[in-house]
Amino acid sequence: MAEKAAPQTHQTGTPLIDMRNISIAFGGIRAVDDASVDLFPGEVVALLGHNGAGKSTLIKILSGAYKRDAGEIFVNGDEASISNPRDAKKYGIETIYQTLALADNVDAAANLFLGRELMTGWGTLDDVAMEAEARRVMGRLNPRFQRFKEPVVKLSGGQRQSVAIARAILFNARILIMDEPTAALGPQETAQVGELVKQLKADGIGIFLISHDIHDVFELADRVCVMKNGQVVGTARTSDVTQDEVLGMIILGKCPPGAIPGPGALKIAA
Amino acid sequence: MTDTTVDRARAAELGALGRFLKATELDTRMLGMVGALLVIWIGIHILSGGLFLTPRNLWNLSVQTSSVAIMATGMVLVIVMRNIDLSVGSVEGVVGMIMGVAQAEFLIRVLGFQLGNPWLWIIALAAGVALGLLIGAFQGFIIAYMEVPAFIVTLGGLLVWRGMAWLITSGRTVAPLDATFQLMGGGPRGSIGATASWIIGAVACAAVAFALLNGRSQRKRFHFPLRPVWAEVFLGVVACAVILGAVWVANSYPWPVGIVRQYAEKNGITIPEGGLFIAHGIAIPVLMAVVVGIVMTFITKRTRFGRYVFAIGGNPEAASLAGINTRWVTMKVFMIMGVLAAISAAISSARLNASTNALGTLDELLVIAAAVIGGTSLAGGSGTVLGAMLGALLMQSLQSGMVLLGIDSPLQSIVVGAVLVVAVWLDTVYRKRV
């Protein structure tokens, strides 16, 4: 109570995404325990934590891959019911998974439109239109990409990554989840992804970024949210905390003064 | 700019054959299979002293292939989705039995239909197809929703449906079948004759030309790279030559003298000096197989369902994260397999002119072998309907070729088994290199 300036975390207005008190357990293990996190338009929120801290699980609840046991999700202030990936996409939530989640044996266009194929008036697949759209969006992301006829298994890591990213932005996502988007990329491609994130931000898209690279996080994210053992340690603006303080949150669960502590913060004896 | 130069540089590296393949976009795997088929045909033709490549033998070969080829098209989808169906032979058996009992006994004795009533074969066939669909749905439900592995469910099915086929009549063979129903088995009457065959051939050629032109104009509309004109013309000419060649072969096989005589007597025709030449034309079961092949190719290539089957086979997790209802797709694939087994049952029992409880025994192995030889990967995610049908033709060619050569049946089994293993081994080598 005696702090000089309360850490400022919340922007004004309605958050794009507001996840409140989310919990999920797998066979008795609470993978996510009473976690709350929000995201505003044009904002990048990085989720940090060790392997198994629950960040991927939390994000998979938002993308519809897992069904939560408790808690609510609000999209633009309205309660959303998300119980499968299709529901999430209806709310404009798109995900780039760490594993990329590409169907390896079909081509780039088929992957971009997987589950949302363009159809002709006859009710058949409109492959030509899908390829045209794929060429357009891939041309924006990766102008040198030409291998539209080959199954994605034959593409390089960076090319596969661009297919996964293209799929997420193709359908005018409002909320983008990026799970380790640069894990498979070289330095130049990583820089490209950074540029893309900034561009999407400028378009007012909210982005959840999961990353191990704290340097990346400080460059791209507006806020960080640190998780440990399924609980939120705290959230902070990247301008209010140092990299060392964030590492302290990740490793020790110690919440620095610049952050708003969550239920998982280390309890210091009063 | 740089890309076109790279492309050109790459094209220059390719030899004449490579350029030809790139221009025509032909699948080298498929070409290899056609090559193997031709080698087998010519080899057996020479060894048998010119008995194999005759209109009569090729026509019979086409009829013998149709039943397995039809089921192989469905097996492609099953295997692409990383499942297997061991029950198709037994499903064929039980469905054949039901169709036989329905038309030869039940409808006549219980419901009082007259022999020769056209509804007999229609109801029997419809009941059979419905039963196939139901069995497929049942097995598919257990596999997709109750999560029992397909191998186990269909292994159980292999025993269950064969047992059911026996139970229906306590092992008694049902014969004869309805005269119209028998047409599905081929034979002189179960063929469409010369004129109709030529018409179908001409329509098919027109369809090929239309498909090529349509594809080209679609790609032009979006300014995509086009195949060179000579490659399009080449593809069209080859496809039409194959179609018209097949029709010509079917039309070169005349009715046997005895049947011509019967026919002439019935219609009051005097047989001219040197006999009357009445061509078989394309057999009805072959026509059915071709139609099934076209429909199944359409389903796999042009529908959302087909796209999902392949996507699930390639990466089940990705497919479900993309919002695809993988369970329902799995169940539908098994339902299609059931219907195809029923169609095959109609053809095989019509050809026998009887329903026996042993109908289709061991067909599951031929069907799986045909699909696998035809390039369907057991790891899932790849395979083509056309490949599987060619695979069925290849297996059948080997088998009937060995019969022509007078090879004992144990040796036939040895050859077929060895060919299957070698074919898959070659395929594995090929996949690693490409």
pLDDT tens figures, B232-263: 999 999 999 999 999 999 999 999 888 888 88
Is some CB atom of chain A closer than 8 A to the CB atom of B173? no
Mean pLDDT of the region B296-314? 96
Encode A92-119: b = buried (16+ Cβ within 10 Å), e = exposed.
bbbbbbbebbbbbbbbbbbbbbbbebee
Is some CB atom of chain A closer than 8 A to the CB atom of B320? yes
Sheet of A78-79: strand order equals A29-39, A17-26, A70-75, A78-79
Q: Between the CA of residue B194 and those of B37, B208, B253, what are the distances in Å?
A: 26, 21, 10
Within 13 A of B168's CA, how many CA atoms are on the CB side? 23
Dist CA A177 CA A61 (whole Å): 11
Dist CA B70 CA B242 (whole Å): 20
Q: Predicted confidence band at B9 (pLDDT cuts at 50, 70, 90)?
A: very low
DSSP state of B255: P
Dist CA B153 CA B156 (whole Å): 5
CB atoms < 10 A from the CB of A75, how many?
22
The answer to whether the CB atoms of A102 and B318 lie below 8 A apart is yes
What's the alpha-carbon Rg for chain A, to the nearest Å?
Answer: 19
**ipTM score:** 0.85
Domains and CATH numbers, chain A: 13-92+174-270 (3.40.50.300), 103-172 (no CATH)
The pair of structure tokens assigned to A86 is 């299709």
Strand pairing of A93-96 and A175-179? parallel
The answer to whether the CB atoms of A106 and B319 lie below 8 A apart is no
Dist CA B126 CA B117 (whole Å): 15
8 A C-beta contact, residue B377 and residue B392: no
**Partner residue opposite A125 with nearest CB, options B7, B218, B307:** B307
Dist CA A58 CA A66 (whole Å): 9
The answer to whether the CB atoms of A117 and B304 lie below 8 A apart is yes
Average per-residue pLDDT for chain A = 87
Is some CB atom of chain B closer than 8 A to the CB atom of A144? yes
Tell me, what's the pLDDT at A11? 59
Examine the pLDDT at A233 and tell me if it is beyond 70: yes
What CATH number has the domain spanning B27-188+290-433?
1.10.3470
Q: What is the pTM of this model?
A: 0.90
CATH 1.10.3470 domain position(s) in chain B = 27-188+290-433
Q: Give the DSSP H/E element, type plus range, for residue B4.
A: helix B2-13
Which residue has better confidence, B44 or B379? B44
- Comparing alpha-carbon positions, the chain B residue that sits nearest to A60 is B321
Is some CB atom of chain B closer than 8 A to the CB atom of A219? no
A–B CB contacts, 8 A cutoff, strictly below = 86
Which residue has better confidence, B93 or A254? B93
Give residues with Cβ within 8 angstroms of A35, minimum separation 6.
Answer: A19, A21, A22, A23, A54, A58, A71, A227, A230, A231, A232, A262, A263
8 A C-beta contact, residue B100 and residue B359: no
